[in-house]
Amino acid sequence: MLRIGMIGLGNMGSAHADTLARGEVEGGVLAAVCDADAAKLDRARERYGDRVKRYADAEEMMASGEIDGVVIATPHYDHPTLAIRAFARGLHVLVEKPAGVYTKQVREMNEAAAKAGTVFAIMYNQRTNPLYRKLRDLVESGELGEIRRTNWIITDWYRPQSYYDSGTWRATWEGEGGGVLINQCPHQLDLWHWTTLMKPKRLRAFCHFGKYRNIEVEDEVTAYVEYENGGTGVFIATTAEAPGTNRFEVTGTRGKVVIEDGKMSFRRLRVSEPEFNATCRGLFDKPECWKVEVPVEPGGGPQHKGILQNWTDAALKGTPLLAPGEDGIHGLMLSNAMLLSTWTDDWVEFPIDEDRFLRELEARIAESRRRREQGVKA
C-alpha cells in the first residue's frame, strides 16, 4: 500500500485526490492533503472525511510519517522545490507537468531524485494515449524507418481573455514563467520527442508575446528544429485560434504517420525511400506506398489515472515507469529553447545554456506585470 500525500488542491490536485479517494488506484491510498488555502482544506474534509489528514504546510506533511509519496500539483515554479524536499525525506514523487519553469531547477530536481533513489514520475498522461503509444511503437520498432521530418500543429488550446483574467498569476513571467508553451503544450512537447525518439541539435523559434491576448507571455509560437540525425521538425502553437488544429505528422524513410482528430493514418513504403531512390531509373517514379490500417485501442487510454497507477505500481512492485520524472526536462528544454531563441533572435544549440535562459527569464520576472500590480519591488 502506498500512502499518498497530495500537495495542492487546485483543479488537478483535487481531481487526483478524488481519483485516489474513490479507490480507483490499486494499492494507492489518499493519506493526506496539503494546501495553504483553508477553504480548500475544509472542502477536503467534506469530501474525504477525517481519515485523510490535512496540512497547511507541505513540510509538515512530508515530515509526518503518514505518507510514502507525494503528488505535487502546485503552481509550476514550486514543482522542483517541493520535489527536492520530498526526495530529501525519502519520499516517492509524482510531479504534475511542467517539471518546472527552467531547466536549471529541473536538473537539480533530477539530481535529488537520483540521490534519493525513490520512484519519481511526471504526470505525462498523454503517454497513456494508445495513439501516441502506437506511434512510438512504430518508430521504436523501425517500421517508420529513420525519421526525417516531424510537424506538429497544435493550435486547439483555445483560451479566451477571460481565462487569463481569472488569476493575477496567469500568463505572467512571475506567476507562470511562460504562456502556451509552459501551460498548455507540455504534453505535446513531451510527445514530440518521446514518440519520435528524435534528439534536437539546434532550434530557431518565433514566439509572439501578448499578440492576441492581453498577457505578457507567449500566445503564438512557431519553432523549427534540426535533429542530430539531420532530420527537421516544426512545432506551431497558439491559444488564440478557433477552430484550432491538432495534427502531428511524422515522416520516416519507410513511411508517414499522421495523427489528427483522434485518428492515426499510416502509409508505408514497400521498400524504403533511400533504397528505392538508389535503384529507380524512371524520372518520375515513386516508391510503392501502402495505406495500412494499424489496430489502435479505441479511446484515450487511462490518462491521469493510468499515470497514478503506474507510479504506485512502480513504488510497490518495481513496475517500469511510463513517464519517469527525469524525462520532464526534455520537453521543458524545448520550451525554454523556443523562448531563448526568440529573445536572442538567434539559434539555440542543445543542450541549452541554462544560466543564460535563467538570466533572461529573471529579467522578465523583474518587469512582470504581476510584480508591478502587487507592488513587489523588482
Please give the distance of CA 267 from its chain centroid, rounded to a whole number: 28
Options 2-10, 32-40, 191-199, 272-280: segment touching its own copies (CB under 8 A): 272-280
Minimal distance in Å, beta carbon 372 to its own copies?
24
Closest to 331 in 3D by CA, of 127, 147, 143: 127
Q: Collapse the DSSP code of 268 into the 3-class scheme (helix H, G, I; strand E, B; otherwise coil) and give the result.
A: strand
Site string for its own copies, 156-175 (x = CB under 8 A): --xxxxxx--x---------
Using rule CB under 8 A, residue 278 touches its own copies: yes
Using rule CB under 8 A, residue 245 touches its own copies: yes
Closest to 182 in 3D by CA, of 86, 63, 79, 282: 79
Residue from 19, 43, 64, 224 touching its own copies (CB under 8 A): that is 224
Cβ-based nearer residue to its own copies, 258 or 366: 258
Cβ-based nearer residue to its own copies, 65 or 242: 242
Using rule CB under 8 A, residue 81 touches its own copies: no
Cβ-based nearer residue to its own copies, 47 or 256: 256
Rounded to whole angstroms, the Cα distance separating 198 from 203 reads 13
Residues pairing with 278 in the sheet: none
Whether the link from the prior residue into 160 is cis, omega within 30° of 0, is: no
Minimal distance in Å, beta carbon 354 to its own copies?
24
The DSSP secondary-structure symbol of 297 reads -
Rounded to whole angstroms, the Cα distance separating 86 from 80 reads 10
Cβ-based nearer residue to its own copies, 220 or 326: 220
Strands 28-34, 53-55: pairing kind: parallel
List Cβ neighbours of 79 (8 Å cut-off, separation of 6 or more).
72, 95, 96, 98, 99, 100, 109
Minimal distance in Å, beta carbon 38 to its own copies?
23
Cβ-based nearer residue to its own copies, 280 or 366: 280
Rounded to whole angstroms, the Cα distance separating 224 from 204 reads 5
Residue from 289, 363, 376, 378 touching its own copies (CB under 8 A): that is 289
Please give the distance of CA 317 from its chain centroid, rounded to a whole number: 25
Cβ-based nearer residue to its own copies, 195 or 310: 195
Q: Which residues bind its own copies (CB under 8 A)?
A: 148-149, 151, 153, 155, 158-163, 166, 204, 206, 208, 211-213, 220, 222, 224, 226, 230, 232, 234, 236, 238, 240-243, 245, 249, 251, 255-256, 258, 267, 269, 273, 276-278, 280-287, 289
